[in-house]
Chain A
Amino acid sequence: MVLIFIDIAEDGNVKKSSLEALTYGAQLAKQLGVEAQGVVLAPATEDLSALGKYGVSKIYQVKNDALKHFDAQVYAKVMAQAVEQSGATVVVFSNNSDGKAVAPRLSARLKAGLVAGAVALPDTSGGFTVKKSVFSGKAFAHVNITTPVKIISLNPNAFKIAEGTGTAEVVELNATVDAPKVKVTAVKKQSGEVPLAEAEIVVSGGRGLKGPENWGILEDLAKALHAGLACSRPVADAHWRPHNEHVGQTGGAIAPNLYIAVGISGAIQHLAGVNRSKVIVVINKDAEAPFFKAADYGIVGDLFEVLPKFTEAVKQLK
């Protein structure tokens, strides 16, 4: 049986990255000829039985106030009980902020091999080999999991959500829940923006924008495209933009469907964070900018003239 960890956001909704994990887990279960089931630990506001449309037959729910806030130590112990009680042989997480904390703990606890950063369904023809992104997106490793229980953390935006029909049976899971040692005192949400890690389109700015006061034209384009905002390292280091917008080797790694790089030359360290994007558009006044070599589409021109036209043309579409 394939068990999928369903991560709940602060607002009580299932995170988009978990919908990807659900779809992935359901397809993997089909490939293995077994059932797919989900497990929810945090209080959810939405109707969990509706998650059946992603291909899961059953949802285990642990109802305990101690799980309201995330503590990886507490969550891992409950997940271990869920694995034991459900008899799961494969556990799927999203490789998101919570998955990165719980999946390794569960792996060490159960001595179950973990591949974190999976980008495709495993090859199960001979053994159990999972393709994962390595070298910051510059290559893939095909990793064999050799233990009876296998854990996969799926990279966000690596697998397309597929909805069918179906309803899942929601059952309560009795588990021992420890008192959390981590006390969450505040959650700061970036309001009105698309979360960068989950964004399907990302608009990103570099030094070419010349200063933080010029970000308005980039924000206009992001708004028109319903895109997340990102930036290059020099921009974050100069405090033009917050650190969480920095994408690149030492910042965040993203894999949107469309990445639009504006005024970014495309240093290899920057490419490492964005090269898993499906389509890359580069706008730069320097035709020799290395980023053009990694791009699918490009405009050589003055971004201060191109951006407003770009935004206008997008608005015309709608």
Chain B
Amino acid sequence: MSYETGSLLGSATGHSNNRVPVNTIYKPKYQQMKILVCVSKTPDTTAKIAFTDNNTKFDSGSVQWIINPNDEYYALVRAIELKEADASTIIHLVTVGAPDADAIIRKALALGGDEAIRVNTESPDSFTIASQIAEVAKQGGYDLIFLGKETIDYNGSSVGGMVAELLDLPYISLATKFELNGAAATVTREIEGGEEVCEVSLPLVVSCNKGMAEQRIPNMRGIMAARTKPLKVVEPVATEALTIIAEFSLPPAKAGVKLVDADNVAELVRLLREEAKVI
């Protein structure tokens, strides 16, 4: 199954079917960039990780929830920077979750963005999340879809690629730099032992990595403004999970540190070679 990319461009931007080719100096004045930023709620980075119900459920009892840092620091902030460079840019946020995600999405709106969409469902796996986001993207007609490189809880790094495939759009993963030039983008992505610079026309999906932007703290004006920004709740489309989490487990506890005297570094090297066998 594949979707028409045309529907993603949609009528929201009016001119989208006649996008200017890459490397042209012509840029119509009415061009208006629409960005969709996908955000997820994750446990706070210091949260204690424990499980209940025979290790089948995450114990969220005393957990503080935050916006997934990769979505916030890199994807959302970079989108906000693009809007600061061109005020006509529209930013929509999307999250897939139950009503308890609203607090998180308000926090994200306090940083920036024009409105938010929550797809009202708890998704069991990456594919179902991606299916919901792809549907929202088709409805909204976005030029850019940004998301963090992974969530810090499931560490799947899969939703972006799946959304891109469902919409038949190009996908740049692990982007560390993103610059717009008209209807095209120059994106730098991380590869093993280096970086790759590429050029690609919009629309596209980008997973954002450290380097894209830097963390911001919302100011009072942003927090006040976020209270009245639209937060639309939409019902999910029918989709089927491809995977199921059967259970969780914890790594075995460390045996404890073996301290070596600072004046006897040679002993440490001996232990690393003879006991740990790692050098």
Binding site for B on A (CB under 8 A): 9-10, 15, 17, 69-73, 76, 95-98, 100-109, 111-117, 129, 131-147, 181-190, 193-198, 201, 225, 236-237, 243-244, 246, 249-253, 257-258, 268-269, 272, 275, 278-279, 281-282, 292-302, 305-306, 309-310, 313-314, 316-317
Contacts and interface: CB of A to CB of B under 8 A. Distances in A.
A198 B272 contact: no
Interface stretch (B85-93, B138-146, B186-194): B186-194
Given A97-B173, A278-B278, A293-B257, A73 B164 contact: yes
* Residue among A98, A141, A302 with most chain B CB within 10 A: A141
Nearest to A227: B279
A297 B242 contact: no
A305 B272 contact: no
Contacts of B176: 243-244
Nearest to B214: A237
Given A105-B164, A108-B162, A225-B279, A181 B258 contact: no
Nearest to B278: A258
Contacts of A187: 191, 194-197
B162 A104 contact: yes
Chain B interface residue number, banded: 35 or more
A196 B193 CA distance: 7
A181 B194 contact: no
B243 A144 contact: yes
B263 to A, nearest CB: 8
Given A96-B192, A104-B160, A296-B257, A73 B245 contact: no
Given A141-B248, A246-B210, A296-B276, A186 B243 contact: no
B245 to A, nearest CB: 5
Contact of B173 (A100, A134, A294): A100
Contacts of A182: 170, 172, 198-200
15 contacts: A9-B192, A71-B170, A114-B158, A138-B49, A138-B250, A139-B249, A143-B246, A183-B200, A187-B195, A189-B193, A201-B278, A279-B276, A296-B257, A300-B259, A314-B269
B152 to A, nearest CB: 5
Contact of A292 (B45, B257, B269): B257
Contact of A298 (B243, B249, B257): B257
Given A140-B248, A144-B246, A244-B176, A316 B266 contact: yes
A258 B272 contact: yes
Contacts of B249: 131, 139-140, 142
Contact of B242 (A71, A98, A113): A113
Contact of A97 (B156, B169, B174): B174
Interface in B227-279: 241-251, 254-255, 257-262, 265-266, 268-269, 271-273, 276, 278-279
A200 B200 CA distance: 35
A299 B87 CA distance: 54
Nearest to A71: B170
Contact of B191 (A97, A115, A193, A243): A97
Nearest to A188: B195
Contacts of B272: 258, 279, 281, 297
Smallest CB-CB A-B distances: 6 pairs: A301-B262, A195-B193, A104-B161, A113-B242, A108-B165, A104-B158
Contacts of A296: 254-255, 257-258, 276
B interface: dominant SS: mixed
B243 A195 contact: no
Contacts of A73: 164-165, 168-171
B46 interface: yes
A206 B49 CA distance: 26
Interface of B: 43, 45-46, 49, 51, 69-70, 73, 125-127, 130, 149, 152-162, 164-166, 168-174, 176, 186, 189-201, 207, 210-211, 214, 241-251, 254-255, 257-262, 265-266, 268-269, 271-273, 276, 278-279
Contacts of A142: 245-249
B257 A181 contact: no
Given A143-B246, A144-B243, A299-B265, A201 B279 contact: yes
Contact of A198 (B172, B192, B247): B192
B90 to A, nearest CB: 24
B256 to A, nearest CB: 8
A137 B251 CA distance: 9
* Residue among B200, B207, B255 with most chain A CB within 10 A: B200
A300 B173 contact: no
B125 to A, nearest CB: 8
B158 A135 contact: no
Contacts of B69: 249-250
A257 B51 CA distance: 28
B52 to A, nearest CB: 13
A72 B164 contact: yes
A258 B275 CA distance: 13
Contacts of A141: 154, 245, 247-248
Nearest to B258: A297
* Residue among B172, B242, B278 with most chain A CB within 10 A: B242
A104 B246 CA distance: 20
A272 B152 contact: yes
A145 B191 CA distance: 28
A147 B269 CA distance: 49
